[in-house]
Amino acid sequence: MTNDLETRLQTLVDQSPTGAPADLDHVLARGRTIRRRRHAAMAFAGAACVAGVATLAVAFASPAPRPPVVTEPPSSSEGPSSPPTPTPDTITLSDVRLPLGLIDDQGLHPNELADVPAIDGPVDRAYSDGDGGLVYQRADQPQRIYWLRGGETLEYDVWPGPTTLLGVVGWEGVRHIVFGAAIPGAEVPSQAIQFYRVATDNDEPLTAGTTFQTISTDLEVEIADGIAVTDDGRLVVSSCHLLCSTHTVPLDHPVIATGDVSADGPLGDPRPTWGLDGTTDGRMFSLAAVTSGQDLEQLTLEQVTAEGHTLDSIEIPMVDAIDGAGLQVTGDGSAAIIELRDGGETTRWLLVQDLDQPAPRIREITDVAGLLVVLGP
Amino acid sequence: MKAAVSATQAHSNETFARFYTGERDQLVRALSVMLRDPDLAAEATDEAMARAYARWGTVSAYANPAGWVYRVAANWAISRLRRRRFRGTGALPENRVTDPEPSDGSLWAAVAALPPEQRAVVVLRYGLDWPLRWVAEAVDAPLGTVKSRLSRAVANLRTRVEVDS
C-alpha cells in the first residue's frame, strides 16, 4: 500500500462523524443495569434450583415455536416495562446422563459415560469420532490434529499451516474428519474445507494421501461454526462473521459460492443462525435468533432441511443477553447441548433432552461455569 | 472491608472513565466507516462500552480492551441492522449511505464497496493504526486470515481509487 492511501484512510476515519456525543454517565448507568440484571438472573437460577420451579414443557411438534412454560416469573432489575423472561429449569452435571467431555485449562476430562481417557494440556476443540474415540486439536498446536482411539493417540500435521478442526461427519457409512484452513498464498478463493476419509474399520491412516476432497470457497471457513452432511450427500456449512449464512453444496462440487446460499427459511433469511449439527440419519438442527432493540429477543432450536426450511421448532428460554450460541446434537437426535455466549464468553450451558419426542425438556447445567462441554457420541 | 471495596470500585470507575474518554470517539469513527451510519455507530459503541463496564475487571485485563469493545459493538450493530431489514425498515451495511458525505468521497465510496470483513480489517489496521494482532483479536479471525483480507482489501481499493504515487 502506498503511504498516500494509508494516510487517506487514516484521515477518512479521523474525519468521520461521531454521531451522538459521548455520555459517560449514561454508559455507566447502562453498565450497572447490565451487571444487576446478570446478578439477578444468576440469583434466580440458584433459587429456582432450591425451590424446584416446575419443569418447563415445550412441544416439538409444530413449526411455530411454542414458548416454554414456567410457573414463576424471574426477578428482574429492568423495571416494570420488562417482559417476564422464561427461565430454564436446572440440572447438575452429575445428573446429565450423556457422555460428555469437559475442557478446562488443564485439559479434557470425560465423565463416567464417555468412553475416552482424560487428555492433559490446552485442548481447543474436540469431537467424537463416532466409534468411541476422540478427534481433537490443542490450542498450542494449531497445525496438528490428534486422534485418540483404542488407547493410542495419533498425531497428524494435515496442513502446512494453522487449521481449524470443524468436526467429524459421516455419510455412506464412512466417517470423515473435516477441517478448514487458509490456502497459503492464494487470492480468491483463499480458504478450503478439507475432508480426510476415515474408514469405519480405521484401516486408513489420516495422512495427506487420504484427502477425500478439498472444497475451495470464498467463505471465511475458519470461523465456520457448524457442518452437516445430508443423507443424499450434500454438505451444509454454517459460517458467521459479521453476516451469518449457511451454504449447501453437493459434496462432489468443487466450490462453495454465493449462489449456493439457501434461499428461504431460517438458514436463508436475515435472522442470525448459530451452530449447525446433524444426526447420523441425516437430520439437521440449527439455532435461529430474532433480535429486539438491544438484545436478542428469541432463540429457537430448529430442525431444518438443507434448503433452509423449518420442520420443527422449539423456543429456548432466555435469561440474559447473548450475542452468540453453539449447538451440539447427539448422533441419534435425542438430545442436544446449547452453549450461550456473550462478549465472546460462555454464559450458560443448556441441555435439551427428548429432542425426538413431542415434549422436549430444556434445563440449564448449573455447575459447568468456565468449562467447555463436548458432547460424546 | 467496605472501605476497601469502595476504593476498588472507585479505581475501577476511574480507569474505565479514562478508557472511555480516550477510546470512544475513535471507535465510533471506525464503526461509522464500517457501518456507514454514525448514529448507529455511536449507539453501538456506547452499548458495548456499557457491557465492558459491567465486566470491567475482565475486559480491562485484555491486551486491547478496545478490540473487545469493537467486536461487541459490531455484532450488536449488525444484529440491529438485521432486524431493520427483517422488518423492512433498513438495510444491511452493504447498502447504507451516510449523511453528510465525507470530503474524500472517492475513497469513502471505495471503502464502502468492500465486503464487510475486508472493510473491518482495513479500517482497524489503517484507520486506527492497530497492529495486525489486535485486528485479528477484534475480528475474531486468525492472523493469516487478517493478512489475506487486508491484502485483498488493498488490492480492491487500488483498483477503485486514484492514488498519487
Please tell me which residue, A243 or A315, carries the higher pLDDT value: A315
Which residues in chain B are contacts of A289 at CB distance < 8 A? 79
- At residue B23, the pLDDT reads 94
Report the 3 state secondary structure along chain A. Answer: CCHHHHHHHHHHHHCCCCCCCCCHHHHHHHHHHHHHHHHHHHHHHHHHHHHCCCCCCCCCCCCCCECCCCCCCCCCCCCCCCCCCCCCEEECHHHCCCCEEEEECCEEEECCCCCCCCEECCEEEEEECCCCCEEEEECCCCCEEEEEECCEEEEEECCCCCEEEEEEEEECCEEEEEEEEECCCCCCCCEEEEEEEECCCCCCCCCHHHEEEEEEECCCHHHEEEEEECCCCEEEEEEEECEEEEEEEECCCCEECHHHECCCCCCCCCCCEEEEEECCCCCEEEEEEEECCCCEEEEEEEEECCCCCEEEEEEECCCCCCCEEEEEECCCCCEEEEEEEECCEEEEEEEEECCCCCCCEEEEECCCCCCEEEECC
A65-69: list long-range contacts, CB under 8 Å, 24+ apart: A65/A298, A65/A300, A65/A313, A65/A314, A65/A315, A66/A314, A66/A315, A67/A315, A68/A314, A68/A315, A68/A316, A68/A317, A68/A362
How close are the terminal C-alpha atoms of chain B, in Å?
64
B12 touches chain A (CB under 8 A): no
| Average pLDDT for A194-201 | 52
User: Is the ipTM above a cut-off of 0.85?
Assistant: no
List the one residue out of A292, A284, A299, A268 whose CA is nearest residue A355. A284
Average pLDDT score over chain A: 67
- Count of alpha carbons within 13 Å of B71, Cβ hemisphere only? 21
Asked if residues A98 and A343 have their Cβ atoms less than 8 Å apart, the reply is no
Predicted confidence (pLDDT) per residue in A2-43, tens digit: 568 888 888 888 888 877 888 999 999 988 887 776 554 434
| Comparison of pLDDT for A195 and B32, the residue scoring more | B32
Q: Alpha-carbon Rg of chain B, whole angstroms?
A: 17
Across A83-92, A187-196, B16-25, B155-164, least confident range? A187-196
C-alpha cell at A140: 498450542
Question: A33 to each of A45, A138, B54, how far by Cα in Å?
Answer: 18, 38, 8
Convert the pLDDT of each residue in A135-178 to its tens digit.
Answer: 888 888 888 888 887 778 888 776 666 777 777 776 566 566 66
Selected residues 78-137 of chain B with any CB under 8 Å from a CB in chain A: 78-80, 82-83, 85-86, 92-93, 98, 100, 102-104, 107-108, 111, 116-117, 120, 122-123, 126-129
Distance in angstroms (rounded) separating the CA atoms of residues A19 and A183: 40
Give the pLDDT score at A198. Answer: 52
A247-251, A274-278, A307-311, B40-44: range with lowest mean pLDDT: A247-251
Q: Which residues numbered 134-163 in B keep a CB inside 8 Å of some CB on A?
A: 139-142, 144-145, 148, 152, 154, 157-158, 161, 163
Contact A13 B30 (CB under 8 A): yes
pTM (2 d.p.)? 0.53
The shortest CB-CB distance from B117 to any of A188, A220, A293 is to: A220
pLDDT at residue number A74: 35
Residues 6+ apart with CB under 8 A from B60: B12, B15, B16, B19
Query: How confident is the model at residue A37, as a pLDDT?
Result: 61
A chain contacts of residue B17, beta-carbon cutoff 8 Å: 24
Question: Helix-strand-coil percent breakdown of chain B, rounded to 5?
Answer: 75, 0, 25
A88: preceding bond cis by omega (within 30 degrees)? no
- How far is it, in rounded angstroms, from Cα A295 to Cα A323? 8
Which grid coordinates are listed for A123?
Answer: 485442548
CB contact under 8 A, B13 and A28: yes
A63 pLDDT above the threshold of 60: no
- Please give, rounded to a whole number of angstroms, the shortest distance from the CA of B67 to a CA of chain A: 11
In A307-346, the residues whose Cβ lies within 8 Å of chain B are 323-324, 342-345
CB-CB under 8 Å, B30 with A270: no
Phi, psi dihedral angles at B75 (to 5 degrees):
-60, -45
**CB of B121 within 8 A of CB of B139?**
yes
Q: What confidence tens digit (pLDDT) does each residue in A300-337 have?
A: 898 887 776 778 888 888 777 776 788 889 888 999 99
Residues 50-79 on B with a CB inside 8 Å of A are 50-56, 58-59, 68, 71-72, 74-76, 78-79
pLDDT digits (tens, 9 = 90+) for B137-162: 787 777 888 888 888 888 888 888 76
Decide which of A293 and A139 is more confident: A139
Average pLDDT, 10 consecutive residues per value, chain B (165 residues): 61 90 93 87 92 84 86 75 42 40 75 84 90 84 82 86 55
What is residue B45's predicted lDDT score, i.e. its pLDDT?
Answer: 94
pLDDT at A183 over 60: no
- Give the pLDDT score at A186: 44
Q: What is the mean pLDDT of residues A110-122?
A: 79
- Considering Cα of A65, then A69, then A74, then A79, what sign does the dihedral take? positive
pLDDT at A357: 87
Rounded Cα distance, B112 and B130, in Å: 20
pLDDT for A44 equals 36
pLDDT digits (tens, 9 = 90+) for A335-345: 999 998 876 67
Residue A192 forms beta bridges with which residues? A181, A216
Cell 412454560 maps to which residue?
A: A69
- Determine the distance from the C-alpha atom of residue A161 to the mean position of all C-alpha atoms in its chain, rounded to a whole number: 24
Chain A residues 157-196 with CB within 8 Å of chain B: 161-162, 164, 182, 184, 187-188, 190
Name the residue of chain A whose CA is nearest to B53's CA.
Answer: A31
CB-nearest to A220 from B42, B53, B141 is: B141
